[in-house]
Amino acid sequence: MADKVIRLMKHTISQTDIVRLCVITSLAICCTLITALSFSLSIDFISYQLFFIPIIYAAYFYPKRGLLVALMCGVAYQAVGYYYRYPDYGALIEVTSEAILFIIIACLIAYFIEKIRFGETRYRSVFVHSQLGIALFNCRDFTIWQTNEVFPAMLNYPTEEINGMTFSSLCLTTADKEKFLERISKTKTTDNFEIQLATKSGNGFWVNLSWNPIDESTISCTAVNINDRKIAEKLNNENMMRYLQLTENSPTGILIIQGGIIQFTNPSFLIFSGYSKDELRGKILDEFVDSRDRAEYHEYAKHWSKNKYLHEDLEIRFVTKSGGMRFGALTATSIVHLEKPATLINIIDISEKQRLSDKIREDNERRRGVIITVAHELRTPLQPILGYLNLLISDPQGFGIVDETKKILERCLVSVERERQIINQMLELSVLESGKLQLSYSTFSLEPVVKSIVDTGGYHSKAEVTIDIPESVQITADKDRIYSVIDSLLSNAVNYSKPPRIIKIFYRSETNDPQHHISMQDNGIGIEKSVFLSIFEPFQLADAAKLSRRYDRIGLSLSIAKKVVQMHSGDISVESTVNTGSTFTIHIPKEIKNAS
Amino acid sequence: MPHKIMLIEDDLPILDMMEILLRRIGYEPILVPDVSDAFNRLKAEQPSLILLDIMMTPMNGWEFLEKLRGEFGMQDIPVILFTASPSVEEKVAELNDKKLGLLQKPVSINELKDGIEKFLGK
């Protein structure tokens, strides 16, 4: 029960203090009276030691004021002694020294009491004011008998409620409890024991416990709040798990490289390379790059070491464990791995894509080879036919040939010529499609070239040709090839119309138009809209036979023309109305942009 | 005396036709259906010009030409490659041989005549 406190002037005095003061005062007065009585009656066995009772009592409870009590007792004893023993000087000296002894004793007691009190205060201060939770519990049944305020506050318990509970019952789960019991049964002194305790509402609360015995039956346990850290760690782990799941399940090969050395690989890369995780860790990626691509890889690696993000990927060959080859498209990103700069490399397996594109290239090569052989085989038998026809026609009289037969032979000759042309076009198209052809660009005036085509081809005699091209128009292109394109379009215009043929050649382009537009308009049979695109396709028409019959268009000249213009980054378009005529337009860019 | 023209060609129908054609345009044809005989016949006949097929066995036209210009040291004799093989223009241009011509089969009588006259004159 707490003392009632009384305020007296500047001091605060409790009731206990008043009682003690009364006791000390009464004792001091009694001692003085008894001493006076023994002096007056000369009773030797009652001596000054009586005064030690109030002095020790006072000094114990009030060390500083105890000195005052000792002083007052000393004065009182001396006064009584002087009164009865004067003038016995020996006795006076004895009394004085005994009085001094009172003060010395009081001083000694005050000193030790103060010292003890100071230590106790310090201990209490640590106990009460500590930021750590402190609990004292019994080392046998773990009953908590005292805690500071922090410990129950951590777990949301009122202080009175937690006293009397067992420490082990505070563990969150049975597993935690077993862990705690196992640990404490093994060692009475423990540091940094991480465990989850239960709050009053039953939630988990992470603490770091340290305990040690302070006497035979008591263990002092401090609990550090590590709940926030643990929650952060858990979140971090969850993030890490999410990140791991991403990399583990990614179809892209993922590597982390630090200072050129492989630190991390995901399963996709293991499948890609055929190596195991351990075989790759600590190795240099260079070792797995095919020697033919190593220089290129080093050049690429230089950039990522400069901490740049590389937008472009690098396609290189990797040597797998089995000695096979796989193609990978590699991208690199600078990251921080284990607090140090590193490079994150993604590798997409493009082996299949590469295999297909290689196959397409091979197929094209093979097809070209077939076309070349076929061309040779088709041309060879034409030679005797052409030769004999030439021979017969060159000397009809010598061979006894009449005019009518000669005409028939001449028609044969035209067919041979057509076949020869088709074979040549087939070859030309295969060269164009192989992409091996280089255009030789020059800048030239369009109008004189068109005039020359019309004159050389004798188109004036076959049709009424009008040319509407400004003299100033200059185009940059492969002159010979554009010449052939215009020639074959004009040839078509003549072939697919009946007299009176009218062919208009005209040029259109605005100043800010990036393209030249050269059109050839005829008044021929026209083309159905549904086959606009097919007429440019070589051999691949589902209705080739139908088309060729209707338009007599088995020749490959349109396919070749379109391909040539496309190589100039241009195009050919067609507009047509059946039985009215067609207009073919060549579109060629005014500026060359790395056209091949 | 008409110029002798040696035709090295393994296709017999062409050989037969060319014999008549060459005679018709005023030359004396020497027909060599087997390229292995060609060098012996060359020595014996001393032709003014060779018409040379390319796709032949056991030696193709290119190999024959190389041997002719190299081993046999006959740099001056005009040779016209007479072939149905496409894309030989580039290779001809690469060789930079002034005495080398090209006629793509099938050739007309006029093309043949012009081709030969380019080397032998009219």
Query: Measured between CB atoms, does A398 come within 8 Å of chain B?
Result: no
Check if the beta carbon of residue A100 is closer than 8 Å to that of residue A75.
no
- For residue A284 the two structure tokens come to 């240099």
Q: Assess whether pLDDT exceeds 90 at residue A243.
A: no
pLDDT at A548 over 70: no
- Given a contact cutoff of 8 angstroms between Cβ atoms, the answer to whether A247 and A254 are in contact is yes
Q: What DSSP string runs through A146-180?
A: EE-SHHHHHTT--HHHHBTBBGGGGBSSHHHHHHH
Residue of chain A whose alpha carbon sits nearest to that of B19: A387
Question: Which residues of chain B neighbour A387 with C-beta distances below 8 Å?
Answer: 14, 17-18, 20-21, 106-107, 109
Mean pLDDT of A545-573: 76
Report d(CA A170, CA A199) in Å as an integer. 8
Residue ranges of alpha helices (H) inside A62-199 are: 63-85, 89-129, 150-154, 159-162, 174-186
Residues A319 and A327: their CA atoms lie apart, in Å, by 9
A415 touches chain B (CB under 8 A): no
- Closest by alpha carbon to A416, among A369, A380, A374? A380
Give the model's pLDDT for residue A559: 86
Chain A residues in contact with B13 by the CB 8 A cut-off are 381, 384
Q: Look at A107-121, A318-332, A499-513, A533-547 and tell me which has the smallest mean pLDDT.
A: A533-547
> Which residues of chain A lie closer than 8 angstroms to B104, CB-CB?
379
| Res A5: pLDDT | 67
What is the phi-psi region of residue A8: left when phi exceeds 0, alpha when psi lies from -120 to 50, beta otherwise? beta
pLDDT at A594: 55
- Lowest-confidence pick of A233-237, A564-568, A588-592: A233-237
Q: Do A376 and B11 touch (CB under 8 A)?
A: no
Task: Please give the pLDDT value at position A595.
Answer: 43
Residues of A in contact with B11 (CB under 8 A): 380, 383
Backbone angles phi and psi of A536, in degrees to 5: -95, -5
Of residues A401 and A15, more confidently modeled: A401
CB contact under 8 A, A381 and B13: yes
In terms of CA atoms, which chain A residue is nearest residue B13? A384
Calculate the alpha carbon distances from A304 to A258, A265, A311, A327, A386 in Å: 11, 18, 11, 20, 67
Reading chain B (122 residues) residue by residue, the pLDDT tens digits are: 899 999 999 999 999 999 999 999 999 999 999 999 999 999 999 999 999 999 998 899 999 999 999 998 888 999 999 999 887 888 999 999 999 999 999 999 999 999 999 999 87
Pairing status of strand B49-52 against strand B4-8: parallel
Distances (CA, A) of A40 to A33, A37, A44, A82, A97: 10, 5, 10, 12, 20
Give the whole-number percent of chain A exceeding pLDDT 70: 93
A385 vs B: CB within 8 A: yes
Q: Rounded to the nearest 5°, which phi and psi values hold at A559? A: -60, -45
Q: What is the pLDDT of residue A308?
A: 57
- Name, in order, each residue with C-beta under 8 angstroms of A78's C-beta and a sequence gap of 6 or more: A95, A96, A99
Query: A380, B110: Cβ pair inside 8 Å?
Result: no
**Nearest chain B alpha carbon to A418:** B106
Residue of A nearest to B106 (CA): A383
- Of residues A504 and A88, more confidently modeled: A504
pLDDT value at position B49? 95
> Rounded to an integer, what is the distance from CA B16 to the centroid of its chain?
15
Average pLDDT of the residues in A463-488: 92
Put simply, whether B91 touches A (Cβ < 8 Å) is no
Q: What is the rounded CA–CA span in Å between residue A426 and residue B86?
A: 11
- For residue range A107-143, list pLDDT tens digits in order: 888 888 888 888 778 877 777 777 788 888 888 888 8
The per-residue pLDDT of chain A, averaged, comes to 85
Q: Measured between CB atoms, does B11 come within 8 Å of chain A? A: yes
What is the Cα Rg of chain B in Å? 13
CB–CB of B87 and A372 under 8 A? Answer: yes
Q: Is the pLDDT of residue A596 over 50?
A: no
**How would you classify residue A260: left for phi > 0, otherwise alpha for psi between -120 and 50, otherwise beta?**
left
Distance of alpha carbon A588 from alpha carbon A570, whole angstroms: 5
Question: Pick from A137, A132, A77: which is nearest to A106 by CA?
Answer: A77
Residue range A90-112, pLDDT digits in tens: 888 888 888 888 889 888 888 88
pLDDT in tens, A2-48: 456 667 666 677 888 888 889 989 988 998 888 888 888 887 777 77
Please check the confidence at residue A541 and state whether its pLDDT lies above 50.
no
Report the CATH number of the A355-434 domain.
1.10.287
pLDDT in tens, A36-86: 888 888 877 777 788 888 888 888 888 888 888 888 888 988 888 888 888
Q: What domains does chain B contain, in order, with CATH numbers? A: 4-84+93-120 (3.40.50.2300)
pLDDT of amino acid A470: 93
Distances (CA, A) of A391 to A436, B19, B23, B120: 39, 11, 11, 22
CATH number 3.30.450.20 is the correct assignment for the domain at A250-349: yes
A471: DSSP letter: T
What is the distance of C-alpha A307 from the center of its chain?
15
CA distance A556 to chain B (A): 17
Residue A439 pLDDT level (bands cut at 50, 70, 90)? confident
The listed range with the strongest mean pLDDT (A111-115, A334-338, A431-435) is A111-115
Cβ <8 Å between B84 and A388: no
A386 and B108: CB-CB below 8 Å? yes
Nearest CA in chain A to B85: A376
Helices and strands (H, E) in chain B, number of each type: 5, 5
CB of B55 within 8 Å of any CB in chain A? yes
| pLDDT score at A4 | 64
State the pLDDT at residue A547. 53
Q: A428: which chain B residues are within 8 Å (Cβ-Cβ)?
A: none
A1 has a pLDDT exceeding 50: no
Would an 8 Å CB–CB cutoff place B14 in contact with chain A? yes
Residue A524 neighbours by CB distance under 10 Å: 24
Chain B residues touching A427 at Cβ < 8 A = 86-87
Q: In chain B, which residue's Cα lies nearest the Cα of A371?
A: B86
Taking residue A93's Cβ as centre, other Cβ atoms within 10 Å add up to: 10
CB contact under 8 A, B105 and A382: yes
Q: Which pLDDT band holds residue A238 (cuts at 50, 70, 90)?
A: confident
* Interface ipTM above 0.95: no
Q: Does B92 touch chain A (CB under 8 A)?
A: no
Residue that wins the pLDDT comparison between A50 and A413: A413
CB contact under 8 A, B105 and A380: yes
Domain ranges within chain A, ordered by starting residue: 5-128, 130-231, 250-349, 355-434, 441-589
Tokens read off for A263? 């630190």
- Selection from A68, A29, A72, A71 nearest residue A50 by Cα: A29
Residue among B13, B16, B106 minimizing CB distance to A379:
B106
Report yes or no: A80 and A30 within 8 Å, Cβ to Cβ: no
Q: Nearest Cβ partner of B85 from A376, A420, A431? A: A376
Quick one: which of A136, A194, A188, A191 has its CA closest to A167?
A: A136
Spatial strand order of the sheet with A571-577 comes to A464-468, A502-508, A515-521, A581-589, A571-577
Partner B contacted by A368 (CB < 8 A): no
- Nearest CA of chain B to the CA of A383: how many Å? 4
Nearest neighbour of B109 by CB, restricted to A378, A384, A391: A391
Nearest to A180 by CA among A205, A190, A234: A190
Question: What tokens does A563 get?
Answer: 């391909």
What are the residues facing B6 on neighbouring strands? B30, B50
Select the residue of A377, A383, A395 nearest B106 (Cβ to Cβ). Answer: A383
Whether residues B87 and A431 touch (CB distance < 8 A) is answered with: yes
Range A130-231 has CATH code 3.50.50.60: no
Mean pLDDT over A394-412 rounds to: 91
Written out in words, the top-level CATH class of the domain with range A441-589 is alpha beta
Average pLDDT (A494-514) is 88
- Residue A2 is predicted with a pLDDT of 47
Identical fold for domains A250-349 and A355-434, yes or no, is no
Give percent of chain A above pLDDT 90: 18
